């Protein structure tokens, strides 16, 4: 018999392919019925599905990439849609596909996720979820983890209900994808596909039941939430299940702590459960170095958002990392350690051993900026490390992103300012030279692109330049001015907290067009009255401090409209600020601002809060104490309680100029104590290089303490050799000149700007003057312009002090106010009897 011909074989193959049922390696022979949420898992159907899933897994792992799998899987979906005999893939199939795709670190920008086949798969998952009420944790956790590895960017603000049927947003996205695929417009299906995948992720999370989950499934779910930074109510349920199961493997512990720190969902019981394993030396020794760094980072982040510092555990992990040394730790892990040290403010000199040139080379831009930020926050680096960081910044500067420029500039500014006062002063010249070159590179990257920078980036960069003592070029300043002024007019470009940072940064910077920026800033502050309730107390007090220090409020007092507007802002802040929630620094800044702007109204509540803290035994830093005393003196308030505080606790770590200002505030308020004054005085006269204001304050204290309290405070000749003598600054107002002319008609012996001779041999300078004086009669006229008055209309502390001291010296003093002269003119002189002298 003749053997069959090739044509016969071909005919047989055609018949088989045409009439036999087609099956797909991705199809299941079981219907996709939803599993029961409260019953045991059905064995036989799931085993069959798992068999199919395993074949899918083997198929994928045998590929160098998942492109071929993607095409096969999408083809299976298309066939299942066209032929009812071919059942669609189940959730287990989708779970296995996404889980394995996640292992290949596929991202939204990769070739796979931008293909039409991937859109078909996402539509299939969405369709499959419609018929599912609950999902077992084994399938759900694997699916969640796989999708999360795609690194989708939020927000995940989809409806909270667990029913996907009738979801208008999802259906609209499916229609958009279909239209894009049918029209064939390349790439138009990518964005709606990723949006649809977000909805699928949220639905899977909501429908997954974790009652019967194990440690691996909990860990996978928590890891997926961390990857996407997605805070969901289910996270608390999974955390509780994690603790209930007593999970304790190294990777599981690092995952759960990482999730808590990233999502900021602090659970004390879970954290304590996780950290108890650290006490076991064997368990701790089996941790991978990467897991050690994750735990360290997580503890630092928990401290950052919660304020709870697990210091003992942090130290144990740190010691384990240092024990392993530089060879076992990678570049990005070193960056995490540096960031963690900076976040908790721990100084650890051994950390420098982990950083060398090869370590920095291994770091990406994000890791490098985190490292520099951490170093700037934790300890002043040695010159070798500073030089290493400087070289790396210069090397990377041409390719730095706006975020990197912002972080590196502000961080390097802190490093530069700390170097000047650390123990390595012998190398300061070398560091200074490197600083200038680094800042020049950062400025070159900054200028020309400022319009692309966010508000916070700009303020951070300017802050870094200021702290580093670097002056940016006029062209860069002009560009900053233009960009800031244009963007301040845009709603939502800058928040009040960022406004605070911008105002603070501008204080020491002489920006071109500074007044123009100040006008724009002030308008933003005025128009944001509804936002004050959402601003923390630190920002509120700092904004008022910057309004005062930045001269938004003019001491001249003639700009009545601007002054009134400033007072409106002050009233808004005072009505929203919670003094009991202010730190001592916040209170000090607030007191300084109120006093500088002559705001005695609203002072009572502030004064009561300070007194309460003194009674409770709180201790104030030198700068805070200085602000308290200076502000009370400026407003003419009594100081007895603060005087007693100084007597009991002293003044520590205070610069000589601050000591002079504290003594001035006490003397203005007539709060004297010979022991305190003489003790603090020794700290002034032993100093050199005091500024003019501090020397004037010292001389005024010397004068008034002798005249009012009989306290002799001498200043040796060496003091004047070391410090600049203040000059007699004469600024005669038009009002004073007018009144002088009238008085000289009555008696030509009246003289303007008369300085009184030394009241005692112990007084160093003749700094006390009378506006208009008749010296032989010891009669003086003080012309009180708007700057001499508080907001309430009372005289400020300095004005009261001057009159008190002059009268103590035997002078008769008459006061003529601006409004008084404007209303009655020469009649005021006659009413006071000055025309008869």
Instruction: Tell me which DSSP letter residue 535 carries.
Output: S
Residue 202 lies in a domain: yes
Question: What pLDDT is recorded for position 797?
Answer: 93
pLDDT(256) > 80: yes
Are 124 and 198 in contact, with CB atoms under 8 Å apart?
no
Q: DSSP string covering 27-89, please?
A: --SS--PPPPSSSPPPHHHHHHHHHHHHHHHHHHHTSSSSHHHHHHHHHHHHHHHH-TTSPPP
Task: Say whether the peptide bond before residue 155 is cis (omega within 30 degrees of 0).
Answer: yes
More confident position, 341 or 604: 341
pLDDT(394) > 90: yes
Structural domain that includes position 781: 734-836
Mean pLDDT (the chain) is 80
**H or E element at residue 629:** helix 622-634
Residue 823 lies in a domain: yes
The C-alpha atoms of residue 498 and residue 489 are separated, in whole angstroms, by 14
Residue 105 lies in a domain: yes
Are 482 and 516 in contact, with CB atoms under 8 Å apart?
no
Three-state secondary-structure class, residue 303: helix
pLDDT band for position 40 (cuts 50, 70, 90):
very low
The C-alpha atoms of residue 96 and residue 102 are separated, in whole angstroms, by 10
**H or E element at residue 779:** strand 779-784
Could you give the count of Cα atoms lying within 13 Å of 425 in the half-sphere of its Cβ? Answer: 4
The C-alpha atoms of residue 807 and residue 814 are separated, in whole angstroms, by 11
pLDDT(52) > 80: no
- The neighbour count for residue 76, using CB atoms within 10 Å, is 23
Backbone angles phi, psi at 101, to 5 degrees: -60, -40
- pTM of this prediction exceeds 0.75: no
Are 450 and 442 in contact, with CB atoms under 8 Å apart?
no
pLDDT band for position 325 (cuts 50, 70, 90):
confident
Among the candidates 181, 209, 237, a domain finishes at 209
Are 454 and 492 in contact, with CB atoms under 8 Å apart?
no
Among the candidates 193, 209, 225, a domain finishes at 209
Question: What pLDDT is recorded for position 591?
Answer: 93
Phi/psi-derived region of residue 264, left when phi > 0, alpha when psi is between -120 and 50, beta in every other case: left
Question: What pLDDT is recorded for position 25?
Answer: 33
Say which CATH number the domain at 802 has: 3.40.960.10
Alpha carbon of 638 to those of 277, 311, 664, 667: distances in Å? 58, 43, 13, 10
pLDDT band for position 481 (cuts 50, 70, 90):
confident
Residue 781 lies in a domain: yes
Q: DSSP string covering 654-703, please?
A: --HHHHHHHHHHHHHTT---HHHHHHHHHHHHT-----HHHHHHHHHHHH
Question: What pLDDT is recorded for position 133?
Answer: 87
pLDDT in tens, 428-450: 444 444 567 899 999 999 988 88
Nearest to 376 by CA among 403, 343, 350, 404: 343
Question: 135 pairs with which residues across the strands?
Answer: 208
Among the candidates 209, 240, 256, a domain finishes at 209
Question: What pLDDT is recorded for position 703?
Answer: 86
pLDDT in tens, 735-746: 888 999 999 999
The C-alpha atoms of residue 287 and residue 293 are separated, in whole angstroms, by 10
Are 127 and 203 in contact, with CB atoms under 8 Å apart?
no
Number of domains in the chain: 2
The C-alpha atoms of residue 351 and residue 371 are separated, in whole angstroms, by 11
Alpha carbon of 526 to those of 207, 482, 547, 577, 586: distances in Å? 48, 21, 12, 16, 21
């Amino acid at each position: 018999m003749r053997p069959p011909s090739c044509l016969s074989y071909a005919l047989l193959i055609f018949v088989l392919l045409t009439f036999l049922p087609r099956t797909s390696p991705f199809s299941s022979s079981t219907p996709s019925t939803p599993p029961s949420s409260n019953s045991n898992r059905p064995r036989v159907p799931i085993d069959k599905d798992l068999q199919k899933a395993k074949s899918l897994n083997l198929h994928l792992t045998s590929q160098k990439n998942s492109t071929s799998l993607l095409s096969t899987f999408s083809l299976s979906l298309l066939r299942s849609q066209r032929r009812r005999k071919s059942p669609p893939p189940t959730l287990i199939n989708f779970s296995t596909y996404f889980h394995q795709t996640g292992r290949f670190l596929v991202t939204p920008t990769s070739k796979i996720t931008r293909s039409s086949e991937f859109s078909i798969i996402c539509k299939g998952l969405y369709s499959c979820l419609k018929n599912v009420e609950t999902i077992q944790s084994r399938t759900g956790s694997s699916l969640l983890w796989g999708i999360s590895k795609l690194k989708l960017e939020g927000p995940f603000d989809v409806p909270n209900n667990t029913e996907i049927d009738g979801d208008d947003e999802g259906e609209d996205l499916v229609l958009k994808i279909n239209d894009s695929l049918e029209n064939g417009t390349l790439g138009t299906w990518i964005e709606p596909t990723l949006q649809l995948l977000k909805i699928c992720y949220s639905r899977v999370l909501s429908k997954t039941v974790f009652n019967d989950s194990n440690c691996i499934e909990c860990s996978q779910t928590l890891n997926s939430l961390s990857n996407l930074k997605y805070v969901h109510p289910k996270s608390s349920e999974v955390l509780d299940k994690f603790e209930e199961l007593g999970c304790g493997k190294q990777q599981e512990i690092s995952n759960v702590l990482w999730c808590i720190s990233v999502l900021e969902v602090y659970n004390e019981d879970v954290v304590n459960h996780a950290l108890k394993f650290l006490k076991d030396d064997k368990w701790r020794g089996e941790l991978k170095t990467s897991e050690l760094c994750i735990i360290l980072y997580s503890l630092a982040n928990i401290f950052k958002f919660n304020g709870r510092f697990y210091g003992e555990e942090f130290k144990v992990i740190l010691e384990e990392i240092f024990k392993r040394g530089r060879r076992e730790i990678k570049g990005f892990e070193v960056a995490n350690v540096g960031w963690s040290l900076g976040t908790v403010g721990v100084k650890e000199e051994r950390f420098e051993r982990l950083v060398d040139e090869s370590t920095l080379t291994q770091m990406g831009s994000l890791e490098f900026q985190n490292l520099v930020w951490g170093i700037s926050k934790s300890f002043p680096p040695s010159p070798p490390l500073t030089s290493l960081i400087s070289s790396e910044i210069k090397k990377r500067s041409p390719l730095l992103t706006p975020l990197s420029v912002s972080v590196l500039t502000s961080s390097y500014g802190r490093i530069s300012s700390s170097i000047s006062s650390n123990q390595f002063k012998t190398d300061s010249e070398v560091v200074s030279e490197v600083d200038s070159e680094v800042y020049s590179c950062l400025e070159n990257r900054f200028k020309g692109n400022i319009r692309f920078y966010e508000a916070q980036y700009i303020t951070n960069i300017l802050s870094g330049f200021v702290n580093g003592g670097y002056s940016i070029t006029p062209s860069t300043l002009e560009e900053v001015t233009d960009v800031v002024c244009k963007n301040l007019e845009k709603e939502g470009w800058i928040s009040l907290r960022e406004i605070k940072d911008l105002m603070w940064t501008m204080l020491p910077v002489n920006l071109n067009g500074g007044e123009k920026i100040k006008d724009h800033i002030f308008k933003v502050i005025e128009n944001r009255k509804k936002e004050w309730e959402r601003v923390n107390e630190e920002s509120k007090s700092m904004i008022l401090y910057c309004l005062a220090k930045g001269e938004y409020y003019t001491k001249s007092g003639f700009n009545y409209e601007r002054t009134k507007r400033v007072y409106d802002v002050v009233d808004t802040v005072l009505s929203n600020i919670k003094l009991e929630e202010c730190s001592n620094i916040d209170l000090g800044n607030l007191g300084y601002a109120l006093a500088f702007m002559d705001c005695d109204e609203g002072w009572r509540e502030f004064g009561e809060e300070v007194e309460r803290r003194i009674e409770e035994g709180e201790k104030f830093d030198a700068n805070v104490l200085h602000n308290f005393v200076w502000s009370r003196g400026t407003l003419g308030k009594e100081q007895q309680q603060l005087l007693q505080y100084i007597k009991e606790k002293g003044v520590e770590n205070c610069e000589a100029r601050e000591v002079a200002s504290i003594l001035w505030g006490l003397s203005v308020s007539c709060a004297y104590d010979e022991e305190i004054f003489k003790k603090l005085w020794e700290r002034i006269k032993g100093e050199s290089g005091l500024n003019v204001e501090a020397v004037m304050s010292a001389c005024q204290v010397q004068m008034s303490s002798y005249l009012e309290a009989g306290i002799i405070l001498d200043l040796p000749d060496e003091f004047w050799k070391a410090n600049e003598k203040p000059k007699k600054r004469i600024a005669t107002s038009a009002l004073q000149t007018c009144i002088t002319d009238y008085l000289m008609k009555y008696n030509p012996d009246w003289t303007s700007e008369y300085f009184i001779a030394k009241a005692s041999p112990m007084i160093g300078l003749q700094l006390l003057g009378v506006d208009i004086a008749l010296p032989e009669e010891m009669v003086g006229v003080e012309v009180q312009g708007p700057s001499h008055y508080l907001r309430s209309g009372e005289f400020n502390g300095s004005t009261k002090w001057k009159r008190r001291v002059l009268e103590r010296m035997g002078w008769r003093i008459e006061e003529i106010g601006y409004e008084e002269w404007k209303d009655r003119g020469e009649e005021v002189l006659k009413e006071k009897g000055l025309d008869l002298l």
